[in-house]
Structure 1
């Protein structure tokens, strides 16, 4: 039976980068017989403009029916001053919550061709391959009560950081499973020296470790983890952490790879249904200029193939095609260095498709 993929281009450069991933998807259908059907819908600012909500009911209905979702990016200054519940980011938070996408997987992999583009010395980052597992539907982003109250000049804002033991156990088991399939090392990041919620997090992870004798568990405070990511990033294999800490650390890890434009992500439910998107934002400053890097979106498609469609061979082919394009010296402006050739968004996508065709 054909699998259904819902495509949500979103805002800013989203439509441009998603279009390149769709070219790759078409090549996989034509050359390798991938049996998928696609539908398109609105999310984010584009949805607010057209339908008055960042996650329209028809988009959510299609998302529930789909096997997987491929998204571009949401947001932009155009919507910064509108009512909070209508802002593009609320649509992203809402779809994650509605679909139970509790686990965010963010690989930070340095392609050897891009070692010189990293902000760190090549010897520090060469061979980098980290998987950050971020809890996505709990923590301070969703905790209640929350709000702003009081009279002007004396107002106070408040948010609630809360995790239940089942929430921590659920993300922990996934992280242990992933670590068991990699190098067998899991670092749990928290702030247990000052936060009670982190005490519960650490105790739960420690208890879980008894069920995974093949995985070495270590604990690290979030401030130290941020420093260690810059000092010696290759000490990490799999990192598991809460929503806010994971949001920050994954973006930090992104820049170790040379460009946030190279990093994909997956947000999964308990049955491996997922929403796949690049880590970078909507980049409204370059929207429509053909400068955006589509490789993170193409690699997000590779993750979709691997985790939801169980097409590991096709995922490997897409990743290999991206590597071949980088070997050929093509670079979008964000990863351009001396000795390489600047390519636009569409040219980069076409090159990946050509590499797939050649391999076929």
Structure 2
């Protein structure tokens, strides 16, 4: 049996609480011989700043580079609002994405039957929803240079962020989206702003070329990003796979998250380029933030963290059958009428972070037979 090296980076706020629930599942898999995970733990975000004065230390960055996968919690909190920009908690996340070359961010939005009424939209609009947003993660306005605030001769300040994309960056994320669509419902929407942005023109041109050359069997639609946001809240089930750039992917995936009932329900996978043996560096994380207002109170929803673990099993370790079981364990738990406070519906029994984790693990054990 292969041994998989997993780096756990709980981070700040509710990060350590939800990570503890994911670790319960990994520990159980180790104990039962289902898999062999060699786990290390490191610091990132505000926790790393407090300990080392940086958002992630060189030692922990080296561990991430050597790991088969990184499981990440959340970073940030008001106590670090005044730290220098370059060492703010979010800088640790950005460095991980950049140094691991995690260019493809996969964000599924699935509405479990028990949560259809927890969404702000009508049940018939969201019930059965299953969308995958494929976000380009290492280019665009978050990484483009120049990025600066300067004082002009007049004394007025000017801020600049640069939206920058190369052809190869668009091509490789398009290929990921088309490949994933072939394993789903074979439909891709490409979202950009080609009507006002030159990067959008390039994005549209490259996606069209890749489609015509190698993926003509996949149904392709082009949509402006703002219209995509509107359509997500009008009739989201028209979508299967949405591929888009870094900025729009950040926004659209948060919109999609709320369709499911709570931002606490949305996991993600960030994948790097495949090596000669087909393996990819990867990091898995819930999309929600560190929620410092409820940290340490046992109120956090661990489902997105546990679902991110499921994505790790699927995409990094080839354990798709166990990933399916994790997803089913989550659905079965919700179907029993239990919920954390953020997703509670009328009649639901509200449970703590640890109780939800224990119940999902119990369902997973039952599915294991």
Normalised to the residue count of structure 2, the TM-score between the two structures is 0.96
Give the Cα–Cα distance (whole angstroms) in 1 for the partners of residues 155 and 349 of structure 2.
54
Provide the C-alpha distance between the structure 2 equivalents of 1:92 and 1:33, rounded to a whole number of angstroms: 30
Q: Compared with structure 1, are the counterparts of its residues 118 and 86 closer, same or farther at alpha carbon in structure 2 (3 Å cutoff)? A: same
Counterpart position of 1:107: 108
Give the equivalent residue in structure 1 for 2:273.
270
CA distance in 2, matches of 1:295, 1:30: 22
How far apart are residue 10 of structure 1 and its match? Answer: 0.2
Matches within 5 A, 1:57-76: 57-76=58-77
For 1:147 and 1:292, how far apart are their aligned partners in 2? 36
Runs of 4+ in structure 1 over 4 Å off: none
- How big is the shift at 1:327? 1.2
1:282 to 290, 297, 313: 290
Q: What residue is the counterpart of 2:335 in the other structure?
A: 327
Structure 1 residue corresponding to 2:163, chosen from 161, 170, 193: 161
Question: Offset at 1:32?
Answer: 5.0
SS of 1:278's partner is coil
Once residues 217 and 333 of structure 2 are traced to their aligned partners in structure 1, the CA distance between those partners, rounded to angstroms, is: 37
Which ranges in structure 1 are unaligned for 5 or more consecutive residues? none
RMSD of aligned Cα (Å): 1.0
Deviation at residue 28 of structure 1 after TM alignment? 2.0
1:187-208 per-position Cα deviation (integer Å, ceiling 9, x unaligned): 0000001111110000000001
Distance, in Å, in 1 between the alignment partners of 2:352 and 2:313 is: 25
2:313 counterpart of 1:305: yes
8 Å contact kept, 1:27–1:357: no
Q: Residue 110 of structure 1 contacts residue 129 of structure 1 at CA under 8 Å; is this kept in 2?
A: yes
Confirm or deny that 1:179 pairs with 2:181. yes
1:213 and 1:313 map into 2 onto residues whose CA distance is: 30
Report the counterpart of residue 351 of structure 1 in structure 2: 359
- Counterpart for residue 125 of structure 1: 126
Q: Which runs of structure 2 are paired with 1:246-257 in the superposition (5 Å)?
A: 246-257=249-260
- Give, in whole Å, the separation in 2 of the partners of 1:177 and 1:162: 25
CA distance in 1 between counterparts of 2:185 and 2:271 reads 22
Structure 2 unmatched runs, 5+: 275-279
Q: Report the count of equivalent residues.
A: 360
Select 2:299's aligned residue among 284, 291, 294.
291
Which residue is 1:26 aligned to? 27
1:322 & 1:7 partners in 2: Cα distance?
21
- Distance of 2:301 and 2:333 partners within structure 1: 13
Please give the per-residue CA displacement for 1:1-33, whole angstroms capped at 9, x wherever unaligned.
Answer: 311000000000000000000001112223352
* Offset at residue 80 of structure 1 (A): 1.0
- For residues 330 and 24 of structure 1, the distance between their equivalents in structure 2, rounded to whole angstroms, comes to 19
Distance 2:32 2:356 in 1: 19
Structure 1 equivalent of residue 145 of structure 2: 144
Q: What TM-score, normalized by structure 1, do the two folds share?
A: 0.98
The answer to whether the 8 Å contact 1:293/1:332 transfers is yes
